[in-house]
Every structure is written in structure tokens, then in C-alpha cells.
A and B are shown apart, each in its own frame.
Chain A
Amino acid sequence: MAAIPVLDVQGLKTYFFTRSGVVKAVDGVSFTLMPGETLGIVGESGSGKSMTALSLMQLVPQPAGRIVGGRILFQGEDLVQKSQSEMQEIRGRDICMILQDPMTSLNPVFSIGNQLVETVRQNKEPHQASLMDRAIELLQKVKIPSPEIRMSNYPHQMSGGMRQRVVGSIAIAGAPKVLIADEATTSLDATIQYQYLALLKELQAETGMSIIFITHDFGIVAKMCDRVAVMYAGRVAEIADVRDLFNNPAHPYTEALMRSVPNVDEEVEYLYSIEGQPPALDNLPPGCTFAPRCPYVFDRCNEAFPDLIQVGDRHSATCWKLAGK
């Protein structure tokens, strides 16, 4: 435990100020990310997982959204305090992001080679070879067959899997410390997703970067992650090492969510289902945000949001049930 975390997020709050009120998209999220570690942030739409990622990059949609509290320590420096031009130096080099839809992350009117060279030039790295060679090398790293030919292709000439590989090569161009994959494989077919996840693992082993997977899929977490944060309505419901989470889920939401996912490996007669739906973020219930859907709800749950309670080594959850009644 002596290692210094590459990313240390404490009490992050990102709010949106809208005409109908304040939307607490991210409300006090804390986690740490060790070098070479893979963290999964799981949650449903509106749970704040993507907004957490955008906050890390300082890309919260302006002017409605604002980081109103907390710290994001990246290698000891607080990113929240940085100016946009200072962030420009960090984004794309030290912290990178791969988004869900590669067609919208790539520019349709420039060739792949053009876009890669632009990235390499931006990174101003002291590299011996020419920009073109470096770009081809990047395409080789993400295992694109015949990269020299692919350099002159435009995004629409490639398949979804290939495009996502190109996005991956742009992301790793600056040898990032942290790679954020926001639903990066959701739009890919099963066998292509499998290839892509294997590729990310290989790149991670090679470069020692840390990866944050933003996903709704526990399967990706089970396959890829070392540590998991489960988010619900803008807060972390539970955070644990991946095996602890799967073996003893402490938060009723985690438990219910796991039981409601169908399974390829075994036959299930009837799936558990969580009734109701996640709360609106501008109108949260007064106590625990999960209380209206929770099967174990008791008085205290409706009074105050629970503290983060330690339930094991590196395993904590926000639930009053764990505090003892």
C-alpha cells in the first residue's frame, strides 16, 4: 500500500444549475486509482458515471454544469484548480478518453493518417522517427492490419471495430497515465468487443497505465477490473475490490442489480427485478436515494443519507443496514 495513487478523487461534486433547479449529477464521489490498476465505475443512466469521467477531464458542459466541490489530485496536483490551458496539456496526454461511438470521435472529413499525425504533433514528443512513421507505429500497436494503407482511409471506410481501434491508438499516442473508457465497447459486436478488451489489457500490460471503465455492464467489470465503484443517483453506493464485490455485495442496490442480470453460464428460471426506477436528480428523496426501491428499508433510511461504512478491507458501502440498527 505504499504506492502513491495516480488519481485521488475526494468528495467530487458536479452540479448543473438549470431553470427547474439544481441537478446534483455527481454528489460527493471519492475514489483512488493506483498505477496500473483498473477501476470500473458501474451504474445506470443518470447515475453520474459519465459526468464523473467528464469532471476528471474538466469537460463538464458549460455554463450549466460546474464542479462545486471536492478535489481531483492527479500526481499530487489538484485538477479542479487548473486553468483550461493547463488542462489542455494534461488532456489527451496524461489522461485520455475513449468514447462509445467512434464515428463521432473521429473527424469524418480527414483521413485516419491525418488525424493521427495531428495527435502525434500535438504531443510534441521527442521522437526520432518522422510523424508518419510514428503514426503507423501507433496503428500497429492497436493491431490494425496493413497500417500503411489504412493511413489514407477515411473513418467511414472502416468498420466499427477498426474505428474504435483508431480511437484507441490516438488515446495511447501520448503514453497516458490514465485511460478512461466510457462505454467504449458498448457499440461493438460480441466477438469484436472481446478482441478490443484483450487489446486494452495488452496495452495496459505494456505501458502500465491505469484504466477507468465507465460501464453499465457487470460482465466488463468481472472480466477487466481490479476494483469497482457502483454508482447510484450521483453517489458511490459501494466500492470494493472486484472479488469482494461479487462474493459479498454489501449494498442492497449492488446485490439486487447482480441478481437481475441474466447469465450465460447458468440457467435461471426467474430473474429478480428491482421495482421502480432511479430517482430524478433534481428531486432526490430526503434520505437514502435508494430507499424508495430498497427491500430492506427502515425508518432511518428516510431520514438521512447514510455514511460510507467500512465493511471489510478496502470495501465500503453507503447503507444504514451495515451500521447496525
Chain B
Amino acid sequence: MATTFEQSTDAIIQLDNCQKYFPVTKGLIFQRSIGQVKAVDGISLQIREGQTYGLVGESGCGKTTTAKMVLQVETPTGGLIRFNGKNIADLDAADRKLYRSSVQAVFQDPWSSLNPRLKVGSIILEPLLANQPMGKHEARENLERLLRDVGLHNFHADYYPHEFSGGQRQRIAIARALSLQPKVIVLDEPVSALDVSIRAQIMNLLKELQNRYGVSYLLIAHNLATVRYMSHYVGVMYLGKMVEEAPTRELFTNPMHPYTKALISASLPSHPDIQREDLVLSGEVPSPLDPPSGCSFHTRCPFVLDRCPEEEPVLRELAPGHKVSCHLF
């Protein structure tokens, strides 16, 4: 039974029990399926208008696969994604085009996400010109507005990407994502490749743009501090499943799931006098090829109960908007 949403009115994108299973094959010509990797296993979330949804988890937890499904790079093998209430798998050609221009992305590494052979002006305008035919003059106006929005100058349009620093390249990537006036931007680790003093610049820029244009973000990050600063709502993923979801303040002041607690306990302190509850997780994330039975976190959980290896917990709402999947509650 899929989770029901009480405030689904302002949700722009809604994931409903989404799954992505990748087949694992053996053999070169006659490929036999020998199993599957459940990269994403029943994720439900909603991205609300003008808000940021932060998705955290360690590598391999499926957060990037989730982002790829939203970007239509991967097709879900189960469940559905709704855009303004419509299932994106059944969109007609015109609506699909609208969806693709309404959902844009900014990636982690601005060194590989910009074409080195194009000038910055062409990079930023490429999506716009591909979608809306326009005259030279109008294109130039748009370009100048976009450059101004991200804090670059007009003359930068004639430079090549290699002439910029990491922070400026990320600004170019943001300008390109903004060019189609999207409803949602998927931010996949947008600041983790940048220097410390530049990160705050880019995060503040993203927040300003959100206030100005009301764009929503799906933020994928592993750094809890970044997620806390940027997000309105946070989902914590572990081995393809959502283990806890709550409004940001609620999640950080009242974390419930042992994995969320461990993540917060493992995050580095901002002052040497801060002593955290010592919650060391033993071992590593198990292989998604062969996930543990029952609750997939039971192999590392410090509070494991008898029923945990046998019975899979369901995501239940324990406080308004605060959902946890754990047998402890």
C-alpha cells in the first residue's frame, strides 16, 4: 500500500513507491539474469513548489538513481512519478517536452559537465534555443539576464569553460539550468567539488534564485550540514529505501531512526567542544546485490531487536510530516 499524501496540492513532482531494479546478467551472448540490484526500492516523496527536498545517504543508497528517474534518464521499473498530478510515463509528446524543459539539472563536477569546445554564451543558450526559436537580439538579452542572475559579467559569454575557476563554472552550469525557467532543478552534489570559501557563495546563490524565481530543488548530498542549510524537507536513504523523512528542523532536532542518528553522530563537529553521542556503526554498507533480510539496516544497527532480521519495517508517520521506518517505534 503506497503512502498517501495529505498535502499533495502544492507538490510539483511526486514520487509514488518508485522502484528501479537493475538486472545482473551472466554470459556474453546468451545473457541470463542471475539476480537484480534493487537500487531504489519503493521511494515516495514529494517536491513542493519553491522548496528544497534534500536527499541524504551514503554511496550506493540510491539517491542518484532517484535523481536520474526524476530527470527521465532512468525509467522506473515500478511505481510512478507524477508531474503536476500527471504520470510522466503517459505524457504525450508535447507534455514530455514541457516536462523535460521544466526539470533541469546541475551536476557535481563543473569540469566535466560543460562542453570545453563551446563558449560560455553558447553553453548557456543551447537549451533555450533548442526549445524556443528566437532572434539574435532576444537571445542576447536572455543571455545577459542569465549571466547577471548568477553573478557573472557580459564579457564572460565569449570565454571558454577552461578560463574559469570551479565556482564560476558552477555558476555557468546554474545559468544553463535556469535558462528554460524550470520548475524544478535537480542538484546532484552541487558544492562538494568546490573549495570551502566558494561553497557558501554557490549555496547562497542557489537560495537567492529560489527566492526570486520560486524554483524547487531536489538536492542530492552526502554532507548533512549542506542539506540542513539548503533544504526544507529531508529524506534519509539506506540501501534503496527511505528510512526517515521529516521537515528539516524536525529531522535534525529530533532524529529517530538509528541510521539518521548515526549519520548525525558521524558528522564532524563545528567546534572542538562539541561532544556527540558516540554511535559508531560497525562494518560497512552491505552489498545491494544481496541485501540483508528484514530491515536492511539490522546488520549495523546498535539497537537491533529480535524481529528486525525477520520482518521489514514500514514507513510510518510518527509526528506531523515525520516518517520513520523502524521497529523501535
A residues adjacent to B (C-beta < 8 A): 44-45, 159, 161-162, 189-195, 198, 216-223, 242-243, 246, 256-257, 260-265, 267-268, 270-275, 277-278
Contacts and interface: CB of A to CB of B under 8 A. Distances in A.
A221 B274 CA distance: 12
A248 to B, nearest CB: 12
A261 B203 contact: no
Contact of A219 (B203, B207, B270): B270
Given A222-B269, A261-B200, A271-B204, A191 B262 contact: yes
Contacts of B272: 221-223, 242-243, 246
B46 to A, nearest CB: 23
A277 B195 CA distance: 9
B59 to A, nearest CB: 6
21 contacts: A44-B197, A189-B58, A189-B222, A190-B266, A192-B284, A195-B280, A198-B280, A217-B196, A222-B269, A243-B272, A243-B273, A246-B271, A260-B199, A261-B200, A262-B229, A263-B225, A264-B228, A265-B270, A271-B203, A271-B204, A275-B201
A264 B196 contact: no
A160 to B, nearest CB: 8
Contacts, number: 120
Contacts of B200: 260-262, 271-274
Contact of B284 (A161, A222, A257, A265): A161
Contact of B229 (A190, A216, A256, A268): A268
A127 B200 CA distance: 52
Contacts of A271: 200, 203-204, 229
Contacts of A222: 268-272, 274
Contacts of A195: 280-281
B224 interface: yes
Contacts of B197: 44, 256-257, 260, 273-274, 277-278
A190 B270 contact: no
Given A194-B266, A219-B270, A265-B270, A159 B284 contact: yes
Nearest to B207: A270
A264 B204 contact: no
Contacts of A261: 196, 199-200, 225, 270
Interface of B: 58-59, 165, 167, 195-201, 203-204, 207, 222-226, 228-229, 249, 252, 262-274, 280-281, 284-285
A277 B222 contact: no
Given A190-B58, A193-B266, A222-B270, A263 B228 contact: yes
A260 B226 contact: no
Given A194-B266, A219-B268, A262 B203 contact: yes
Nearest to B166: A45
Contacts of A242: 272
Nearest to A271: B200
Nearest to A265: B270
Given A190-B267, A216-B196, A277-B167, 14 more contacts: A44-B196, A190-B222, A191-B262, A194-B265, A195-B280, A216-B195, A222-B270, A243-B273, A246-B271, A260-B196, A262-B226, A263-B229, A271-B203, A273-B200
B247 to A, nearest CB: 12
A306 to B, nearest CB: 20
A221 B270 CA distance: 9
A198 B281 CA distance: 12
A267 B249 contact: yes
A264 B224 contact: yes
A264 B195 CA distance: 19
B58 A191 contact: yes
A219 B267 contact: yes
Nearest to B203: A271
Contacts of A246: 271-273
B268 A217 contact: yes
Contact of A264 (B222, B225, B284): B225
A194 B280 contact: yes
A264 B252 contact: yes
Contacts of A220: 268
A44 B203 CA distance: 17
A301 B285 CA distance: 51
B64 to A, nearest CB: 14
A161 B197 CA distance: 28
Contacts of A257: 196-197
A130 B207 CA distance: 60
Contacts of B228: 262-264, 267
A277 B165 contact: yes
Contacts of B165: 277
Nearest to B282: A195
Contacts of A270: 204, 207
A257 B270 CA distance: 12
Contacts of A260: 196-197, 199-200
